[in-house]
Amino acid sequence: MSTDKVPAAALLCSDPVEVAPRLLGATITSRSRDGKDVTIRLTEVEAYRGESDPGSHAFRGRTARNASMFETAGTVYVYFTYGMHHCVNLVCWPEDRAGAVLLRGGEVIKGLDLARTRRPAARADRDLARGPARLCAALGLTRSDDGIRLGSEGDRLRLVLPEPGEAPKLQQLRSGPRTGVAGPGGDARHFPWRFWLDGETTVSAYRPAVKRPRTR
């Protein structure tokens, strides 16, 4: 779990399954147009390996929707789901090899007031970014942010890894099946690629995929 002297960009340019647990404890910061920041400490993530992964949006190749997943590491992939929610992923691997880490949950540690205005339905602060759609909403990200690059301080989106000695301990790390993934990609034996920090109240509840009736 050590992140000693590893730049964020270098960390992301690797296998998403290896990257994902090392993002736990990192912070992601979004800056609004009027210069206000919201920072979230990541407590839950999921890895997706792209074209070799039946649970990935890129499993069947490049489309207009998932094109950002084929960009170079450090690109941001934002997708729209269920006609109402946005979710944010950090792209891994070099260009043309799809893979990403979905940011599933975290603790808002800066910009609480702004996050609350974006998430007025949240009953408690722990719920502001507890789940991928909530996290994305708290950061104020939409499909218009799809394809941007992680930057440095003052940019739209910035990732900062834990300082040496501040990274979560190995014994805090947990892994299990990905949430809501149907079919082979949801098999816990082969794809235990959801990672979270034990004991964190901002980790979302696990829910298996629900079979939806076919429409004619």
Q: How far apart are CA 197 and CA 105, in angstroms?
A: 10
The pLDDT of residue 216: 35
pLDDT in tens, the chain (216 residues): 545 556 777 889 999 999 999 999 999 999 999 999 999 999 999 999 999 999 999 999 999 999 999 999 999 999 998 888 999 999 999 999 999 999 999 999 999 999 999 999 999 999 999 999 999 999 999 999 999 999 998 899 999 998 878 889 889 999 999 998 888 887 888 899 999 999 999 999 888 776 554 443
Q: How many other C-beta atoms lie within 10 A of the C-beta of residue 14?
A: 15
| CA distances (Å), origin 132, targets 41, 50, 60, 74, 137 | 13, 19, 23, 18, 9
Annotation: CATH topology of 8-197? 3-methyladenine DNA Glycosylase; Chain A (3.10.300)
Contacting residues for 115 by C-beta, under 8 A, at least 6 apart: 38, 108, 128, 129, 138
CA 159 to chain centre: 11
What is the pTM for the complete model shown? Answer: 0.92
Using DSSP's 3-state secondary structure scheme, residue 87 falls into: strand
**Widest pairwise Cα distance in the chain:** 56
In three-state secondary structure terms, 140 is: coil
CA distance 35 to 53: 38
Spacing of C-alpha 42 from chain mean position? 8
Classify strands 85-91 and 37-48 as parallel, antiparallel or unpaired: unpaired
Q: How far apart are CA 18 and CA 207, in angstroms?
A: 23
Residue 184, pLDDT score: 83
